[in-house]
Amino acid sequence: MPKLFGKCANCGATLLGGGKEGENRFCSKECRQFFSHPNFCEQCIAESTPESLGGTFTLNYVIGTHLMGWGGGEPCPRCHAKVMRKWLWILLPLFPVTERYRVLYQTRARYFSRKMTVG
């Protein structure tokens, strides 16, 4: 009989069901991808600097900043890092407030980032 409850192999979150890959269970695709490749690949490191993006914030679900990948292209095929920018939101996205960054999600809400140097 399969186990009903389990833990995510990446973040340790308690799962009811969840996706499996071999013997490991994951709560999200971000956790599965980070578990398989937990760092930026050589190409992403070469195209970026160690400068981090910092965090995002939301106030009363109305105003804040969010990461968005509009126009960033496809994720890196090796490490799954996405090209994203931080946008200012007031109900809707208004404008980007940062340059482009390579973002590698550790979980759904945690990420690592590196500032892009190549167009």
Contact indicator for 16, 9 with CB cutoff of 8 Å = no
- In this model, does residue 1 exceed pLDDT 50? no
| 90/110 same-domain check | yes
Position of tokens 């398989």?
36
Task: Tell me: do 10 and 54 sit in the same domain.
Answer: no
**Are 53 and 18 members of one domain?**
no
According to the model, what pLDDT value does residue 119 have?
60
Task: Quote the domain boundaries for residue 89.
Answer: 37-116
pLDDT in the model for residue 87? 95
What is the rounded average pLDDT for all residues in the chain?
87
Domain count, the chain: 2
- Reported as a single tens digit per residue, the pLDDT across 47-88 is 999 999 999 999 988 899 999 988 777 899 999 999 999 999
Please indicate, yes or no, whether residues 18 and 53 belong to a single structural domain of this protein.
no
Q: Please state, for a pLDDT cut of 90, what percent of the chain lies above it.
A: 48
Q: Which two tokens stand for residue 61?
A: 């679900």
- 42 plus 84 within the same structural domain: yes
